[in-house]
Amino acid sequence: MSQNLEISNNAIYSRRLLKHRVGISLSVFAMAIGIFFLLWILSVLVINGMGAIDLAIFTHTTPAPGSEGGGLLNPIVGSLLMVGVATLISTPIGIFAGVYLAEYGEESRFAQITRFITDVMLSAPSIILGLFVYGIYVANVRHFSGWAGSIAIALIAIPVVVRTTDNMLGLVPSSLREAAFALGAPRWKVATMVRLRAVKAGVLTGVLLAVARISGETAPLLFTALNNQFYSSDMNAPMANLPVVIYQFAMSPYDNWRELAWGGALIITFSVLGLNILSRTLVKTTKN
């Protein structure tokens, strides 16, 4: 009897072990495929983009059609201005909304609706948000502008900051909140001075991830900021930006334009990579 039970147990163990090995093998195979294509894309980008990276790309404006030389000064400045303004808009809104959801998310129906809308905005196509800003702002003022572009990408960044802040605040031990309440601290002070301060590195990580997300957005800017071939820091006028310039130059028949497009793509890629590395470093700091 015991011998039959042992054989049965061994058979069950063998089947489970086989399923485990098949699952691990498929997972490793899928990961290998993903890494292969990622390295392929990065290698092509580096090989084609490094040839365009020099001092001129950061000091000269985009060249006229058919001319030689030139750089990406105006789209780089335009992208920095619009991403900077979008970050200034989205950071306080996202953080305070995240604090509200963390504190009242289980008590208020309005907070539950806000969380649902935030989740919808996270998955909404960016072109829809660009079209929305075009309809409510650009169509009314009757011109494209850097402000419109900043608003469009800020709408993309806000839900990222909100959800990150909400999730990070949820990691704060309840004993820390209870201790603050026991000392007589009001709820708003516990939320901002205790819970938020305890996870400030994680919240900053969410802001960096949002910046990385909006740095390469193209579709919303086509409807809002459009483009500008010349250098301009006027946020109330059409403004050049790297994603749109990369799109236009990559589709052009001019060799130097296509080379600049590869250089711009490399700049954005390594900028986003740097932001992601910085955010992961902050996450590790928070855990330690």
Q: Are residues 46 and 67 in the same domain?
A: no
Q: Give the end of a domain, one of 52, 67, 86.
A: 52
Dihedral angle of Cα 108, 109, 114, 117, to the nearest 10 degrees: 160
Q: Tell me: the pLDDT tens digits for 26-52?
A: 999 999 999 999 999 999 999 999 988
Q: Are residues 132 and 11 in the same domain?
A: no
Q: Tell me: the pLDDT tens digits for 101-112?
A: 988 877 788 888
Query: What pLDDT is recorded for position 285?
Result: 64
Q: Are residues 118 and 19 in the same domain?
A: no
Instruction: Write the DSSP string, the chain.
Output: -HHHHHHHHHHHHHHHHHHHHHHHHHHHHHHHHHHHHHHHHHHHHHHHHGGG-STHHHHSPPPPTT------HHHHHHHHHHHHHHHHHHHHHHHHHHHHHHHHTTT-HHHHHHHHHHHHHHHS-HHHHHHHHIIIIIHHHTS--HHHHHHHHHHHHHHHHHHHHHHHHTTS-HHHHHHHHHTT--HHHIIIIIIHHHTHHHHHHHHHHHHHHHHT--HHHHHHT---SS----TTS----HHHHHHHHHTSS-HHHHHHHHHHHHHHHHHHHHHHHHHHHHHHHHH-
C-alpha to C-alpha distance for 115 and 101, rounded to whole angstroms: 7
Per-residue pLDDT of the chain (288 residues; tens, 9 = 90+): 555 555 556 777 788 888 888 999 999 999 999 999 999 999 999 999 998 899 999 999 999 888 888 999 999 999 999 999 999 999 999 999 999 998 887 778 888 888 889 988 988 899 999 999 999 999 999 999 999 999 999 999 999 999 999 998 988 888 888 888 888 888 888 888 888 888 888 898 889 989 999 998 999 999 999 898 889 899 999 999 999 999 999 999 999 999 999 999 999 999 988 888 888 787 666 555
Q: Give the end of a domain, one of 52, 71, 86.
A: 52
Q: Are residues 44 and 120 in the same domain?
A: no
Count of the separate structural domains present in the chain: 2
Full domain range(s) for residue 26: 2-52
